[in-house]
Amino acid sequence: MIRRHARKFLPIAALAIGAGAGTTIHSGVAAAAETTDVVRSGAAEDSYSSSARPTYNFGLAPTITAGRQAGDTMIGFLKFTVGPLGTGTTVKSAKVTLTRDTKNLPASVTLSRVADNAWTEKALTGKNAPKLGASVAVAKPAATANAVTFDVSSVVKGAGTYTFAVTSSVANTPARFKSAEAAAGQPALDVTVGRPTVVKPIEDVKPTKPVTTPTTPATKPTTPVATTPVATTPAAPVTPAECKVDAKLVPSCGVLWGAAAGGFSDVPRDEALKTFEAKSGRTSSIYHTYHKGDEVWPTKDEIAMTNDPAHPRTLMLNWKVGYGTTWAKVAAGAQDARIDKAAAYLKANFATKPFFLVLHHEPENDVNPAAGSGQTAKDFAAMFRHTALRLKADGVTNAVFTVAYMNYEKWNNTAWWGDLYPGDDVVDWVGVDTYNNAEPGAFHYGDFNYLMNRTNDPKFPGFYTWASTKHPSKPIMVAEWGVYDSSKVVQGKNKAAVYATVLPQLAKMPQIKGFVYFETAKDQSGHDIRMDDTPEALAGFQKIAADPRFDVKL
């Protein structure tokens, strides 16, 4: 297993060559011998650049893309740091191994040297990417090869920092390799070294049997593993009182914790939330509920949940204002009476406490791209704008407007997806609903980085990368997230393994300011998204809930 940014080097194979049972060494003579082992380093930094998207940063993407597609040239960048190898150690050879992602590989992939080591994965873009040097190695992989290996012995001669670029001139078949953010198969630099040993006189050492250190298996772990964050100066510990929210519910530090409990069940939402809180061990600062059409919201029970002094909470209300009609008609004013009624109720019953208002969450599912349907992506954006502006004009001052997408590759890849965004002037938070499968190797299986940044199209960099790049001033709300296990026989370790990746990888996504778990025993597809379906899963989830970064004071 490769641990990214590790400062210790992992011996892959150490072959002991020296005095063993039956070996005779004359007294007073020191015989020179050598052991050979492999020092493995994970990528300290990795990302890629795009000529078609020169301002995008892909440092948190689970893949490194290199090649040409539809006029876009993408170049992968890898930085490895090899630490001290020891006195008298000689480098025998070195190789870089990259593991293929899901797409076929091009017929030719080139690894080049890069002299500039100053770049970082969080800042690299097409505009500031370092210049490429001479080619080091060219690989001719099979389209479905599991991995590609490059001989870099001509470059790696000892300890130091080494940057390489990955390119391909093959048109419309870009290479997609797993990055250090992937759950398994991260990039590796293996340096084979020889280490001198001295065999002491026979009277000074007892004969021993030859010892061989087992070779580390070449196969990668099949369960998600936490990616070690980029080394930074540790932040000073904070107390709950230090992390507070502003008028738009953006915390000064930390992350708001929340839940939508009891989904798709007859259990009252407030009762389900209290049970969820008792099991997880933390009050849900965000209480997520759902309404549509002419329903009155927030209900008296929902308001009561925000008035509990022992458990301070705010509301996240999903409202499908266009229920029973079309987005285009809402935008044209056909539902202004519905909007005005909601505004009047808010001002009379819930006028001061800020709350999140999500207008028609997961709109992608309801888009009809046909012209005149009233349900195009642009119609959604117009509906959102009209509703938000109308509520503001009606005197509603405490609604924090949130757009909530669904993180599904099918929709991200459509031509109309970019038209959904209503505009920075009416959006306070950018949200996403996203779910992972804990069954190893199954569809949508992966770690937390995959949960937030999965993509199967090089044109879309992953949700977190997209939102943080295109809307850097907007806090990101994980409005719904959850983990299910589609295994025939559910194993608690599967969910626990996914949960174990959340905290270290969340630390690398500073724009996430809200984090809401969706809990249900059975969703529309029959998935069990409860965090306590097994004792192992519950224990893993409780570790997340106990983290002090969620100690935000409302």
The alpha carbon of residue 183 and the mean position of all alpha carbons in its chain are separated, in whole angstroms, by 10
Task: Give the DSSP letter string of 469-503.
Answer: HH-TTSPEEEEEEEEE---SS--HHHHHHHHTTHH
- φ/ψ of 325, rounded to 5, equals -145, -155
Three-state SS letters, 159-171? CEEEEEEEECCCE
Which residue is catalytic, options 362, 364, 439, 519?
A: 362
Tokens encoding 142: 């099979």
- Is residue 438 a contact partner of residue 484, using CB atoms and an 8 Å limit? yes
The packing angle between helices 535-545 and 492-499, to 10°, is 10
In angstroms, the CA 309 to CA 288 distance is: 18
In angstroms, the CA 281 to CA 279 distance is: 6
**Residue 184 half-sphere exposure, CB side, CA atoms within 13 Å?**
17
H-helix segments, 357-414: 377-393, 409-412
The alpha carbon of residue 553 and the mean position of all alpha carbons in its chain are separated, in whole angstroms, by 26
Residue type, 230: V
Q: Report the relative pairing of strands 188-199 and 31-50 from DSSP bridges.
A: antiparallel
In angstroms, the CA 519 to CA 276 distance is: 8
- φ/ψ of 176, rounded to 5, equals -125, 110
547 exposure class (CB count in 10 Å sphere: 0-12, 13-18, 19+): middle
Q: Which of 410, 400, 353, 360 is nearest to 380 (CA)?
A: 360
- φ/ψ of 46, rounded to 5, equals -155, 145
Angle at 551 between CA 546 and CA 554, to 5 degrees: 140
- Is residue 420 a contact partner of residue 380, using CB atoms and an 8 Å limit? yes
- Is residue 548 a contact partner of residue 237, using CB atoms and an 8 Å limit? yes
No. of H helices and E strands in the chain? 11, 21
Is 362 marked active-site?
yes
Tokens encoding 193: 């070294």
Which residue is catalytic, options 121, 302, 480, 519?
A: 480
Is 302 marked active-site?
no
Tokens encoding 274: 């209290």
Question: Residue 455, Cβ neighbours under 10 Å: how many?
Answer: 23
In angstroms, the CA 205 to CA 38 distance is: 27
- Active site (catalytic) residues: 362, 480
